[in-house]
């Protein structure tokens, strides 16, 4: 049993922890968000999205994304902080279950690592029916009354 646990820990370390260690090293050399974002780009990650306060990086090889608080939006509160609070919250399960989990973070939440989430458009009709059973039942009920909706219309219902 001990051997199994040790093997499992080794597996985790070789997976996520190696990547997180690399991110920590990138951050702690300067603790500067601009430098950090430059280093993320140099390490093969690319910008996959950006909003009012954050820039998001990831690449195909990893199953996580890095959200960096944009230093130029210092007048806003840092949403990374609330994401971390929700993941760590013991009681707020309603929100915790619907927010991508924070897996790692810098000491001041300038950047966080969260699980990778794919847009609805990337999933097949069959998979979406399993994820959205209410929409699937509604879709079937409406088709029974003669609407004859095509599978493409299912995403509209969601």
Partner 1 sequence: MHINICEGLNLDRNQSYLAKQAIINTTLHKDVIKIFSAMKQIRSSDVHTGNIGITLNSEPSPENIKILDFDIVNFKD
Chain residues that interact with partner 1, rule: CB under 8 A: 51, 63, 79, 82, 85-86, 89, 91-92, 94-95, 97-100, 115-120, 123, 127-128, 130-135, 137-138, 141-142, 144-147, 149, 155-158
Judged by beta carbon, residue 7 or residue 63, the one nearer partner 1 is 63
Least Å distance, CB 58 to partner 1, is 12
Least Å distance, CB 143 to partner 1, is 9
State the DSSP H helix or E strand holding residue 130, giving kind and residue range, or none if neither: helix 125-131
| 23 token code pair | 């991110």
Distance, in Å, from the CA atom of 47 to the CA atom of 79, rounded to the nearest integer, reads 18
Least Å distance, CB 16 to partner 1, is 15
Longest Cα pair distance anywhere in the chain, in angstroms?
Answer: 64
Question: Could you tell me if 104 and 93 are in contact, meaning their C-beta atoms sit under 8 angstroms apart?
Answer: no
């Amino acid at each position: 049993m001990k051997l199994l646990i040790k093997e499992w820990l080794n597996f985790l370390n070789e997976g996520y922890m190696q990547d997180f260690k690399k991110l920590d090293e990138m951050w702690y050399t300067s603790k500067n968000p601009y430098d950090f974002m430059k280093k993320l780009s140099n390490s093969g990650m690319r910008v996959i999205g950006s909003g009012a306060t954050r820039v998001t990086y990831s690449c195909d090889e990893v199953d996580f994304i890095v959200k960096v608080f944009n230093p130029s939006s210092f007048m806003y509160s840092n949403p990374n902080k609330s994401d971390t609070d929700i993941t760590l919250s013991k009681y707020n399960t309603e929100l915790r279950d619907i927010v991508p989990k924070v897996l790692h973070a810098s000491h001041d939440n300038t950047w966080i690592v969260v699980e990778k989430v794919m847009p609805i458009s990337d999933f097949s009709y069959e998979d979406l029916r399993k994820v959205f059973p209410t929409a699937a039942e509604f879709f079937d009920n409406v088709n029974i009354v003669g609407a004859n909706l095509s599978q493409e219309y299912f995403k509209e219902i969601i």
